[in-house]
């Protein structure tokens, strides 16, 4: 099975601009059709695009986010989602702001 790469973008309100995150996804090489966007608070994971993305995500896929706070705001829930993605779905996560290129 071939690895697929998905990007996830979240901004807290409809007025916020997601361009910085979208550019980061493009620079990473993610196809536009594989980028999922929610314009909603990160207080929980009941977000429409995130839910659809989680249904699509499978083993050996990679989920790319710009920074950990784009995944969510609740640390406990972030850890639980991280576990679901990496342990249950056996997918990978890349946090762009955590990557260091030398």
**CA dist., res. 35 & res. 45, Å (int):** 17
Number of other CB atoms surrounding residue 90 within 10 Å: 12
Residue for token pair 């784009």? 70
Out of 12, 41, 49, 67, the active site residue is 12
In the numeric block, which tokens belong to residue 41? 């608070």
In the numeric block, which tokens belong to residue 85? 């993605």
Helices then strands, each counted (H, E), the chain: 4, 4
**CA dist., res. 37 & res. 6, Å (int):** 11
Known catalytic membership, residue 12: yes
The catalytic residues are 12
């Amino acid at each position: 099975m071939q690895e697929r790469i998905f990007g996830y973008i979240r901004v807290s309100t409809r007025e916020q601009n997601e361009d910085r995150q979208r550019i980061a996804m493009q620079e990473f090489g993610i196809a536009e059709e594989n980028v999922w966007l929610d314009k909603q608070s990160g207080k929980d994971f009941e977000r429409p695009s995130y839910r659809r993305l989680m249904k699509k995500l499978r083993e050996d896929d990679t989920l790319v986010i710009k920074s950990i706070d784009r995944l969510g705001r609740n640390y406990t829930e972030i850890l639980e989602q991280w576990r679901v993605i990496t342990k249950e779905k056996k997918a990978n996560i890349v946090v762009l702001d955590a990557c260091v290129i030398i």
